[in-house]
């Protein structure tokens, strides 16, 4: 018990020290990267509800990120001349995104696997195309000059200072994002260990048995879509305020796939694994940046554009991991068992026909 308390305090100290250490050692741009990593962690945790808990492959998840981001951008910027506060927009973002989640989920309820993936991918693109073509979202140009996030009189965009440290906005955002990530972790954890969470697992394991055990699978799937979307909406609101500018190009299908990779690579259904996957994949591209300087220095020419190189490395890493550890780098015990079901078969062919 006591060691647990110490461990908690130590982690807390590390989390607080992290941006300062990163700034000192790696530079300021890396603190910004940390902020993005946290946004991705929230997104990945949201998608994890849909994919990891309920077993529904969703390839259009970024649409909910977009809904949250555009909600904030439209209601807190000169674009429509409105400047609503965060405390109103954050829950609104969650709610509106959740409604979109249920709305887009409803027509897909009968679909499974590949079909579900294709339809959700389509929905993701539809949302993006709407954002490109509507006037109220300012079309392809996107929305600029979005208000920085503000709570009470405290502006997260402004510079602050603490004990002689000069703290630019990226620090304040870091702590805000940490708090919200912690909240999302808590919610994810409580959901997984609840009546609804067990029902989601049951649907993932065997939908026919779940139905025959009285589970209203339509209802439960809609709940998973809505809940996952709500997290996406929250992340979107934060993203818009943090970035100050958004356009439809931030919400492409590639982004959806990236978030899915975070979930799968880290370990579907496992909170810690998913967070690790998100942080790894958010930071990895930056780690490749020095490669271009290295090429410039050695060959006098950049042969491989780091942006492309990074996609290549990324793909290779993903393939290798999926071959060696299909359950992800840090899986939950249940998912590990699922993926190794055939290694040591005790209960034989239980999922054959009816």
Does 305 bind another protein (CB under 8 A)? Our answer is no
Does 214 bind another protein (CB under 8 A)? Our answer is yes
Q: 36 to 95, contacts with another protein by CB under 8 A?
A: none
Q: Which of 97, 124, 76 is nearest to 236 (CA)?
A: 97
Does 120 bind another protein (CB under 8 A)? Our answer is no
Among 96, 199, 234, 268, binds another protein (CB under 8 A): 199
d(CA 253, CA 246): 16
What is the phi/psi pair of residue 215, to 5°?
-80, 130
Options 3-11, 234-242, 311-319, 333-341: segment touching another protein (CB under 8 A): 333-341
Q: How far is CA 273 from CA 118, 162, 269, in A?
A: 26, 34, 8
Among 11, 29, 159, 216, binds another protein (CB under 8 A): 216
Q: 161 to 190, contacts with another protein by CB under 8 A?
A: 187, 190
Does 341 bind another protein (CB under 8 A)? Our answer is yes
Does 97 bind another protein (CB under 8 A)? Our answer is no
Among 38, 202, 238, 274, binds another protein (CB under 8 A): 202
* Dihedral Cα 234, 78, 138, 84, nearest 10 deg: 30
Does 112 bind another protein (CB under 8 A)? Our answer is no
The long-range contacts involving 337-342, CB below 8 angstroms and separated by at least 24 positions, are 338/205
Neighbours of 234 (CB within 10 A): 26
- Closer to another protein by Cβ: residue 310 or 335: 335
DSSP state of 108: G
Among 145, 158, 198, 290, binds another protein (CB under 8 A): 198
* Dihedral Cα 281, 284, 285, 291, nearest 10 deg: -160
Among 213, 272, 293, 296, binds another protein (CB under 8 A): 213
Does 286 bind another protein (CB under 8 A)? Our answer is no
- Closer to another protein by Cβ: residue 83 or 198: 198
Write each residue from 223 to 262 as x if it is in contact with another protein (CB under 8 A), else as -, in one continuous string: x---x-----------------------------------
* Sequence-ordered alpha helix ranges (H) in the chain: 2-26, 28-48, 62-75, 86-105, 113-133, 169-192, 195-205, 207-212, 217-243, 253-266, 271-287, 289-299, 306-324, 333-339
Contacts of 352 (CB under 8 A, 6+ apart): none
Distance in Å, CB of 89 to another protein, minimum: 20
Binding site for another protein (CB under 8 A): 187, 190-191, 194-199, 201-202, 205-206, 208-217, 223, 227, 334-335, 337-338, 341, 346-354
């Amino acid at each position: 018990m006591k060691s647990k308390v110490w461990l908690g305090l130590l982690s807390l100290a590390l989390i607080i020290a992290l941006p300062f250490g990163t700034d000192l050692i790696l530079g300021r741009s890396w603190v910004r990267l940390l902020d993005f990593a946290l946004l991705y962690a929230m997104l990945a945790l949201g998608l994890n509800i849909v994919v990891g808990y309920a077993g529904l492959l969703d390839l259009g998840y970024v649409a909910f990120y977009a809904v949250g981001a555009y909600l904030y951008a439209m209601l807190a910027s000169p674009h429509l001349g409105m400047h609503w506060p965060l405390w109103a927009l954050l829950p609104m973002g969650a709610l509106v995104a959740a409604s979109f989640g249920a709305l887009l989920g409803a027509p897909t309820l009968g679909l499974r696997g590949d079909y579900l993936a294709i339809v959700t991918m389509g929905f993701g693109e539809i949302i993006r195309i709407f954002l490109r073509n509507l006037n109220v979202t300012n079309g392809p140009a996107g929305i600029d000059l979005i208000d920085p996030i503000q709570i009470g009189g405290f502006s997260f965009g402004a510079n602050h200072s603490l004990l002689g440290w000069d703290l630019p906005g990226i620090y304040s955002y870091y702590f805000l994002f940490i708090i919200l990530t912690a909240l999302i972790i808590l919610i994810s954890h409580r959901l997984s260990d609840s009546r609804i969470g067990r029902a989601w697992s049951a649907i993932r394991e065997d939908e026919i048995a779940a139905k025959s055990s009285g589970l209203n699978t339509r209802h439960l799937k809609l709940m998973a879509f809505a809940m996952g979307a709500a997290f996406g909406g929250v992340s979107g609101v934060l993203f818009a305020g943090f970035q100050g500018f958004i356009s439809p190009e931030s919400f492409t299908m590639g982004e959806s796939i990236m978030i899915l990779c975070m979930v799968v690579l880290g370990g579907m259904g496992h909170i810690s694994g998913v967070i690790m996957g998100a942080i790894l994949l958010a930071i990895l591209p930056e780690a490749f940046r020095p490669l271009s300087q290295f090429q410039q220095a050695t060959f006098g020419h950049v042969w491989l554009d780091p942006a492309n190189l990074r996609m290549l490395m990324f793909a290779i890493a993903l393939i290798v991991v999926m071959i060696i550890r299909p359950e992800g780098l840090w899986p939950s015990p249940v998912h590990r068992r699922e993926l190794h079901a055939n290694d040591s078969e005790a209960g034989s062919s239980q999922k054959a026909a009816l």
